[in-house]
Structure 1
Amino acid sequence: MPNMLPPSRPQRTLAVAQLSNSLGDGAYYVTSALYFTHVVGLAPARIGLGLTVAWAVGSVVGVPLGRIADRRGPRGTAVLLALATGAAVASFLVVRDFLPFLVAACLYATAQSGLAAARQALLAGLVAEEERTAVLAHLQSTLNAGLAVGAALGGLALSAGSRPAYLGVFAIDALSFLLCALVLLRVPAVAPAPAVRGARLEVLRDRPYAVITLLNTVLLLRMPLLSLGLPLWITECTDAPEWLVSALFMLNTGAVMLFQVRTARSVTGLATAARAIRRSGAFALTACGVFALSAGSPPRVAVTALVGGSVLLAAAEMLQSAGSWQLGFGLAPAGRIGEYQGFFGSGVTVARTLGPLLLTALLVGMGALGWLLLGGLFLVASYALGPVARWAAGTRQEPAPVSVV
């Protein structure tokens, strides 16, 4: 699948780094919950509490870590944070109680959040502004390919069900971040950004950018929707077979892997980004309406509705991703890319932290009406992003040359 790889060598090296740790992450994602309950012996409620606290810490610390990447150089910062993430994963191997688990989880979430911001700053230094969305699409395809393969490895560990199998998965994930750090050392160094006048964390005072981040966080609720909302809906509210949960995950991963690059080609500036996000909101609303039809339907009808809704949701995800990348980078001032991306990336953390509570209340608690309310929320947020992006562009010292419509 050559379409997954970016054209130039530095960009391909970034893709290899992305692939290396996504393989380990894919295995980690499908086994971590059972590892912490069956091997470590923690109660599910304590695991949920620990991860919520950890990701809350990570979302806050990601901004100053992004600032460090701007000032000290993104490549060296990314390498150190990749090593810190690997060390955090390795520490899970010796965790036997809640407090050490909480400390390790906070280190993991902090390093992951900072690594994401540093990588974005590194990409900004290596790729021309007009090419960033296309390159990010390639990286997203690579990410999904790695997650899919990693999830398959995790599935083997789940089938074995033994302590050594689980420990092997965590060891692979830790080593994958070590490999990521080594690969990042092969990327050309990017000079630290010169000092910029203003507050030390200017992004916290940038109200238009904060509103964009908030609206984008609403759209990112599609992430826990795929990993938690749909599985709960399928098992609790429909007569569809449980194996459909994994099938829909594979469908989403494969679609993004194959079509994200093609989808992102239409996004070339702030105007096209706003248009893509509006289309994503329409697709998301339609997907939610189709998902709602699966309740109380015969199994064959339910499966058809769930598959159709998942196709629409994948289209919404690819459009929203491409548009949000353009807005997140295009509205960040030069010299503050890491800082701003650290803040923008906190939306992922917030969506994953608060999303499960909201989705459970809407979907399991309200049924079909909850799906329609969720779809309406997606649509409103997607249409609001255009005017807010126009507001943000007008507050820049050097407004984007393309108007937002």
Structure 2
Amino acid sequence: MTNRPGRLLALAQLANSIGDGAYYVTSALYFTQVAHLAPARVGLGLTLAWGFGSLVGVPLGRLADRRGPRGTAVLLALATAAAIATFLLVSGFVAFVVTASLYAAAQSGLAAARQALLAALVPAEERTGLLARLQSTLNGGLAMGAALGGGALSVGTAAAYRGVLALDALCFLVCALLLLRLPAVKVMTAGAAAGDGRRTAVLGDRPYALLALLNAVLLLRLPLLSLALPLWITERTGAPAWLASGLFVLNTLAVTLFQVRTARAVTGLGSALKVLRRSGLVMLASCAVFALSTGRSAWPAAVIMVVGAALQVVAEMQQSAGSWQLSFGLAPADRMGEYQGFFGTGVTVARTLGPLVVTTLLLGWGASGWLALGLLMVLAAYAMGPVARRAAAGRPMPRPAAEPVPVPVN
């Protein structure tokens, strides 16, 4: 049963990531040039929207636990498509913030519901490997979508940008249809049967909440490729500006090709913590290499940046594999959606605060900022060990996967 759900989850991931890739490279120009919003207002609106998305991730994850992850995931994929389509009608700041908040909320909830759905359909020992394959699929889809978005950028017309939004909405409709083909499941658990009434159990689970916080620190790497490195290259080195896009391609291809292989080393709590510690050290080495590019001329700076980016993507793949294992293995089976929704807020926190943190450290402090960021990553990675062991003390690891109970569909 695992093979078919895995294929459908991968196809759904591919569908929406193609749309996302096209959206990511064109949305800023659409909002500023077509919707006529000031860049500062776009930035403020997106910060408010993702802040809202981080708040509703847990409630939407609980909805997946109570109503079923498949149906919740389908509805949230449709809500994402509707929000993207609504962007075509946005003409003012308030409408933009409302629509962007709907988009961020649907995306955050969809991520939690899909994780809960995967946990219900896939045995525990296979989850990290499947997540690695999904991550590879995600990166491949983003690359394809970015290429399509690049075509729209080369055309540069309002119609081309609107076409990208329409494509993204269509991709999420396809995602919803693929998720609908998955078997409906009902995970029978003691907590659910008892109706214990806890509203936010994950907030009372202090070790797990602290793990999510530490993971958010490690996710501060997210703005590096899209924001920090392009600015660093143009302002602090003599390397050509197009190198930033080359580093993005390097990252995408590496994750597509090697994420599955990296995840094979993670089989339980101990191996996850070992890989996370290693990721912190590799990230420190990456930051130290990036710091060496300060003031260098074109080709020396380019070579240094490529080496730093290669180390960074190795650390990224290791961190992803280790955090997946902890986020699933330490979450109660009956509250998987709620816990995954909370753990996933690390992404929205990194997207919201990360740009400010990394630009302040790197562009404000220069080479010493790179070293400070690397040391912060090492501290967070090593701190996850004692916290994870405390969280696991009352939960056997590895946790056997609960067999999904098919729900008859008339």
How would you bin the TM-score normalised by the shorter chain?
over 0.9
Question: How do 1:110-149 and structure 2 match up within 5 A?
Answer: 110-149=105-144
- In structure 2, the residue matched to 1:44 is 39
Q: What is the distance in 2 between the residues matched to 1:365 and 1:141?
A: 34
Check if 1:358 corresponds to 2:353. no
Retained in 2: the 8 A contact 1:85–1:112? yes
- In structure 2, the residue matched to 1:27 is 22
Question: How do 1:2-401 and structure 2 match up within 5 A?
Answer: 8-194=3-189, 195=192, 197=196, 199-394=198-393, 396=394, 398-400=395-397
Residue type of the alignment partner of 2:397 = A
Partner-residue secondary structure (3-state), 1:242: coil
Partner-residue secondary structure (3-state), 1:95: coil
Encode CA deviations 1:216-271: one digit per residue, 9 max, x unaligned: 00000111112111111111111100110110000000000000000000000011
Residue type of the alignment partner of 1:123 = L
Partner-residue secondary structure (3-state), 1:336: helix
Encode CA deviations 1:300-330: one digit per residue, 9 max, x unaligned: 1100110000000000000000000000000
Q: What is the distance in 2 between the residues matched to 1:197 and 1:319?
A: 37
Q: What is the distance in 2 between the residues matched to 1:121 and 1:168?
A: 32
Residue type of the alignment partner of 1:356 = P
Q: What is the distance in 1 between the residues matched to 2:97 and 2:162?
A: 18
Retained in 2: the 8 A contact 1:72–1:192? no
Retained in 1: the 8 A contact 2:225–2:244? no
How much is the aligned-residue C-alpha RMSD, in angstroms? 1.2
Q: What is the distance in 2 between the residues matched to 1:215 and 1:306?
A: 27
Partner-residue secondary structure (3-state), 1:223: helix
Q: What is the distance in 1 between the residues matched to 2:313 and 2:365?
A: 24
Q: What is the distance in 1 between the residues matched to 2:71 and 2:22?
A: 27
Retained in 1: the 8 A contact 2:269–2:398? no
Q: What is the distance in 2 between the residues matched to 1:371 and 1:192?
A: 45
1:295 Cα shift?
Answer: 1.0
Partner-residue secondary structure (3-state), 2:135: helix
Change (3 A) 1:255 1:210: same
1:400 Cα shift?
Answer: 2.0
Partner-residue secondary structure (3-state), 2:58: helix
Change (3 A) 1:193 1:96: farther
Partner-residue secondary structure (3-state), 1:221: helix
Q: What is the distance in 2 between the residues matched to 1:7 and 1:305?
A: 43
1:9 Cα shift?
Answer: 1.4
TM-score (norm 1): 0.96
1:401 Cα shift?
Answer: 5.4
1:299 Cα shift?
Answer: 1.1
Encode CA deviations 1:130-175: one digit per residue, 9 max, x unaligned: 1100000000000000000000000011111100000000000000
Retained in 2: the 8 A contact 1:124–1:337? yes
TM-score (norm 2): 0.95
Residue type of the alignment partner of 2:289 = V
Partner-residue secondary structure (3-state), 1:94: coil
- In structure 1, the residue matched to 2:406 is none
Residue type of the alignment partner of 1:96 = S
1:79 Cα shift?
Answer: 0.3
Q: What is the distance in 2 between the residues matched to 1:176 and 1:145?
A: 15
Q: What is the distance in 2 between the residues matched to 1:217 and 1:241?
A: 31
Gaps of 5+ in 2: 400-410
Change (3 A) 1:401 1:73: closer
- In structure 2, the residue matched to 1:3 is none
Q: What is the distance in 2 between the residues matched to 1:303 and 1:17?
A: 36
Change (3 A) 1:193 1:38: farther
Residue type of the alignment partner of 1:35 = Y
Q: What is the distance in 2 between the residues matched to 1:369 and 1:7?
A: 48
Q: What is the distance in 1 between the residues matched to 2:253 and 2:48?
A: 32
Q: What is the distance in 2 between the residues matched to 1:200 and 1:214?
A: 20
Q: What is the distance in 2 between the residues matched to 1:50 and 1:204?
A: 27
